[in-house]
Amino acid sequence: MSGNSRLFLTAQWRNLVMLNYEVDRGLLARYVPAMTELDSFEGRTYVSLVGFCFNKTRLLGRLAVPFHADFEEVNLRFYVRRKAGGEDRRGVCFIAEIVPRRAIAWVARLVFGENYLRFPMEHRIEGDADNGMVAYNWRVGDRKCRLFLEAAGEPLVVGQGSLEQFITEHYWGYSRQRSGGCVEYRVAHQPWRVAVATNAGFEGDPTATYGPAFATVLRGKPESAFLADGSSVEVFAGEKIA
């Protein structure tokens, strides 16, 4: 596979709560990086609010930074694709990514040019893989935001051509730069198993984090919601393509 092969970090991504909302393509137009185009599933455009645990983080695959190996992340993302030679690269772009530590946000902004924000965060996991609840919280001032999901049943391999596959199997990241350019990076992991939600949603006012248009989206009911079990991941260094 072509693309940058310099490893930036390894980690475990676990207990991924994924709330997926159908949106008008026009809402995302100004966020689409150069050299990419919006991706869709059966003609529908989605944003996903994703919360997960970032565990056993190692820079360059070997360097553990004290107090920064295990933490939460919540991100609001959408989906793009790019033709690169004969390859159709399906990727993810982020509106904003929230982490609990300033150093993590600073490094991510520096290396990838992503819109990382630092807020106090916490998570809660109850039950087991077959019947449980997972929630991620963050706080902006005195206002708390929360995404949660309850699931029952064993996580299963996603079906070919399913919405779950479309959401979970994007192996490239694209970051729109302030200069107008674009950075591309590769993310490698095995396919995830998912458990469909019995109950899921978002609570709070995310306006300060994502702006009023996305806040309106998140206050609505997700088109779909599921819990992905996660896996080991490798994130490779970015490469400027525009």
Q: What are phi and psi of 13, to 5 degrees?
A: -105, 120
Look at residue 209 and tell me if it is in a domain: yes
Domain interval for residue 74: 7-240
- Write the secondary structure of 129-191 as one string of H (helix), E (strand) and C (coil): CCEEEEEEEEEECCEEEEEEEEEECCCEECCCCCHHHHHHCCCEEEEECCCCCEEEEEEECCC
Look at residue 30 and tell me if it is in a domain: yes
φ/ψ bin of 56: left (φ > 0), alpha (ψ from -120 to 50), beta (otherwise):
left
Predicted TM-score (pTM) of this structure: 0.94
φ/ψ bin of 79: left (φ > 0), alpha (ψ from -120 to 50), beta (otherwise):
beta
Note down pLDDT in tens along the chain; length 242 residues. 445 679 999 999 999 999 999 999 999 999 999 999 999 999 999 999 999 999 999 887 665 665 578 999 999 999 999 999 889 999 999 999 999 998 888 888 888 889 999 999 999 999 875 678 999 999 999 999 999 999 988 899 999 999 999 999 999 999 999 888 999 999 999 999 999 899 999 999 999 999 999 999 999 999 999 999 999 999 999 999 99
Look at residue 190 and tell me if it is in a domain: yes
Which CATH number covers residue 114?
2.40.400.10
The conformation of residue 9, written as its DSSP 8-state character, comes to: E
* 40 SS3 class: coil
Q: How many domains does the chain have?
A: 1
Look at residue 52 and tell me if it is in a domain: yes
Compute the distance between CA of residue 184 and CA of residue 35 in angstroms, rounded to an integer: 10
